[in-house]
């Protein structure tokens, strides 16, 4: 049976349309050609802590993007034991969209509960924040992880307040997001404890 000319033209037209659609999908990173960006340890903010655990946690919590960028901002390094301030920030972006923020600051509260109510609950409801064992206080949800860690013996209650906020998340379950954020906050707290010249022992568990 012969294939008529109109059928040949129709099949050729369909093939051309499919090729054009595939080309557009590839050019704009649309499925099934979406490219996943690579998070490299050397690009990650130093304040998030080094090591494969940090990279794995970022891979877990962040959405799939074709590229990622990290910007460190150390506004107030602690220069000596008499300095009573320390502040650093890390901004994580993917495809020009802010995905995650991590900030550490030296603060002083009479109670760890007051720290959570004033410094953390502005980013997440108190009901969603569940405790985990670290420092004087650690709370986390699928969107925020925060740690209140003793730092200096000078002054009443000089602590490091570490807060990691996930602004855009991937497809992981809430429990996996929470665990990933806890890893990032814990690593950031360990880094800050050394960089801020803390003289109290590093207590990562109660």
Question: Does residue 78 sit in helix, strand or coil?
Answer: coil
Q: Give the chain's length.
A: 206
In a domain, 202, yes or no: no
Instruction: Quote the domain boundaries for residue 67.
Output: 41-195
pLDDT of residue 25: 44
pLDDT of residue 74: 83
Q: Residue 8 burial (CB < 10 Å; 0-12/13-18/19+)? A: exposed
In a domain, 90, yes or no: yes
Through-space distance between the first and last CA atoms of the chain, rounded to whole angstroms: 82
Q: Does residue 33 carry a pLDDT above 50?
A: no
Same domain (yes/no): 25, 102? no
In a domain, 204, yes or no: no
Q: Which residue do the tokens 């962040």 mark?
A: 62
- Please tell me which of 2-16, 18-32, 149-163 the model is most confident about, judged by mean pLDDT: 149-163
Same domain (yes/no): 97, 60? yes
Percent of the chain with pLDDT over 70: 78
pLDDT of residue 26: 42
In a domain, 50, yes or no: yes
């Amino acid at each position: 049976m012969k294939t008529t000319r109109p059928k040949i033209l129709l099949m050729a037209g369909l093939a051309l349309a499919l090729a054009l659609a595939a080309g557009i999908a590839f050019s704009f990173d649309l499925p099934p050609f979406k490219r996943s960006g690579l998070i490299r340890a050397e690009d990650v903010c130093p304040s998030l802590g080094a090591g494969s655990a940090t990279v794995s946690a970022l891979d877990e919590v962040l959405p799939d993007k074709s590229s990622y960028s990290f910007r460190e901002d150390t506004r107030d390094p602690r220069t000596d034991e008499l300095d009573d301030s320390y502040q650093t920030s890390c901004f994580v972006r993917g495809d020009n969209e802010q995905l995650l923020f991590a900030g550490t600051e030296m603060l002083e509260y009479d109670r760890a509960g007051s720290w959570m109510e004033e410094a953390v609950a502005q980013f997440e409801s108190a009901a969603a924040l569940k405790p985990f064992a670290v420092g004087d206080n650690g709370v986390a949800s699928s969107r925020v992880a925060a740690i209140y860690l003793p730092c200096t013996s000078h002054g009443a209650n000089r602590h490091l307040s570490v807060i990691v906020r996930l602004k855009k998340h991937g497809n992981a379950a809430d429990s996996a997001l929470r665990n990933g954020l806890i890893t990032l906050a814990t690593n950031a707290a360990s880094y800050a404890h050394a960089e801020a010249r803390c003289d109290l022992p590093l207590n990562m568990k109660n």
